[in-house]
Amino acid sequence: AAHYNEIASAVAHGKGVSSLYPYVWLHHTAFRPPLYPLVLGGAYAIFGVHVGAAQGLNTVLGSFVVVSVYVLTARLAGSRAALVAAGLATIYPPLIANDVTVLTEPLALLLMLGMLIAVERRSWVVGGALTGLLLLTRPSAQLLLPVVALYIWWKADWRKAVVFLVAGVI
């Protein structure tokens, strides 16, 4: 959390994706994925550099996660199941905890759910682009792009899987 806060603060002050870690001088860094610090840096530029701004951003993202859970579940299992799933997502303690820490989880969950909604709607370019953004948020998501592409190949065809992959890489 401290690294994301430090990088976002540098972004807010016009110093780019920069950090002191692991040196003692400010330098451009790729130690953390850049998307969340860039988004958080934008919030810091508007609201000031403090944890409350980060918590507010994550709470808004977490609210969109609940809405996305509803949308995806409604498409897959109907509105009654969607209400139950969204209600559970609203009160699930780990999701609430994600919203009050300066970490990537709310943004990553929102991007992943958006990708799932796009793939379910057969919007391969949007799904690939959201997966690419997810890769810029969580390096642990790297395997997701080829796995989802294989699923698309299996369920649709190889051309659509290639479109998804290209959109995710670009």
Query: Which phi and psi (to 5°) does residue 147 adopt?
Result: -65, -45
The residue ranking higher by pLDDT, 126 or 24, is 126
Confidence of residue 22 (pLDDT cuts 50, 70, 90): confident
Rounded Cα–Cα distance for residues 134 and 34 (Å): 11
Averaged pLDDT of the chain: 95
Q: What contacts 76, CB < 8 A, 6 or more positions away?
A: 120
Picking from 115, 110, 8, 13, the residue whose alpha carbon sits closest to that of residue 63 is: 110
- For the stretch 8-21, pLDDT in tens is 999 999 999 999 88
Helix (H, G, I), strand (E, B) or coil at 12: helix
pLDDT in tens, 110-156: 999 999 999 999 999 999 999 999 999 998 899 999 999 999 999 99
Instruction: Measure the N-to-C terminal CA separation of the chain; round to a whole number of Å.
Output: 28
Identify the pLDDT of residue 20: 86
